[in-house]
């Protein structure tokens, strides 16, 4: 519906080029895409990565700040050249309004992890409390037979807590995909809103 109106020039991208001197080096990127919510789009986007043999480290979808528009957040470790090609392919999808990529310095990012531990393993409750406190985590729920600990942060931080809790026995562990917002003042969301308004005018 709106996609035909919406192709922003890649030259408007503001990158920290000091990180990108060698475009053949792999590094961490966050790719975001603002889309209409259509069935089958997720599959077509993942196929773009599969064809180029690029591993998706995490993928999250959610509502965006613009009503009726959804946002994909995709984490990859790849070369700049490959990421640019992927973003261009994503933008060719009819339902995609805008796709962009960011280096790790250009976004504020977090992940959420949950750790389920049996209460039988908690013979030293004070030690577990110390670990949770030192990692800035929290007890999400305490049940008769288990506790669930919640930790948000970078992947290395959730992994560090996992390593400390592992000797106590982790019954279940799950980590969310990356969520991220641009460090730019407005981000591309404002561009989306502006161009949608122009399309409807």
Distance (Å) of CA 138 to CA 84, 151, 177, 186, 187: 39, 7, 19, 32, 31
Q: Over the stretch 110-165, which tens digit does the pLDDT of each residue have?
A: 999 999 998 887 766 788 889 999 999 999 999 989 999 999 999 999 999 999 99
Q: How far apart are CA 88 and CA 100, in angstroms?
A: 9
Which value, to the nearest 10 degrees, does the dihedral of the CA atoms of residues 43, 85, 98, 76 take? 60
Q: Does 180 map to a domain?
A: no
User: Taking 50 as the threshold, does the pLDDT of residue 96 lie above it?
Assistant: yes
Q: Check if the beta carbon of residue 97 is closer than 8 Å to that of residue 35.
A: yes
Under the banding of pLDDT at 50, 70 and 90, the label for residue 194 is: low
Residue numbers of the domain that contains 145: 109-175
Q: Does 43 map to a domain?
A: yes
| End-to-end CA gap in the chain | 14
Choice between 198 and 74, residue whose per-residue pLDDT is larger: 74
User: Taking 50 as the threshold, does the pLDDT of residue 1 lie above it?
Assistant: no
Averaged confidence pLDDT in the chain: 84
Structural domains counted in the chain: 2
Residues 6+ apart with CB under 8 A from 166: none
Residues 9 and 81 in one domain: yes
Q: Does 44 map to a domain?
A: yes
Residues 68 and 138 in one domain: no
The per-residue pLDDT for 196 is: 61
| High-pLDDT (> 90) share of the chain, % | 57
Please tell me the least confidently modeled range out of 40-54, 75-89, 110-124, 166-180. 110-124
Residues 120 and 165 in one domain: yes
Alpha helices in the chain (DSSP H): 41-51, 80-91, 125-134, 155-165, 188-200
């Amino acid at each position: 519906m709106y996609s035909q109106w919406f192709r922003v020039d890649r030259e408007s991208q503001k990158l920290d080029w000091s990180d990108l001197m060698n475009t053949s080096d792999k590094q961490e990127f966050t790719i975001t895409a603002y889309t209409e919510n259509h069935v089958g789009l997720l599959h077509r986007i993942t196929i773009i990565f599969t064809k180029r043999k690029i591993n998706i480290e995490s993928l999250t979808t959610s509502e965006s700040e613009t009503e009726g528009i959804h946002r994909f957040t995709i984490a990859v470790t790849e070369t700049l050249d490959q990421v640019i090609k992927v973003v261009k392919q994503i933008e060719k999808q009819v339902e995609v309004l805008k796709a962009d990529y960011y280096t790790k310095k250009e976004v504020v990012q977090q992940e959420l992890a949950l750790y389920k531990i049996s209460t039988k393993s908690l013979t030293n409750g004070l030690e577990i409390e110390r670990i949770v406190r030192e990692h800035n985590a929290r007890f999400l729920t305490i049940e008769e037979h288990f506790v669930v600990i919640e930790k948000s942060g970078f992947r290395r931080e959730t992994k560090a807590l996992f390593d400390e809790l592992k000797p106590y026995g982790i019954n279940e562990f799950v980590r969310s995909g990356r969520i991220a917002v641009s460090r730019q003042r407005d981000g591309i969301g404002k561009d989306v809103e502006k161009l949608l308004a122009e399309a409807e005018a």
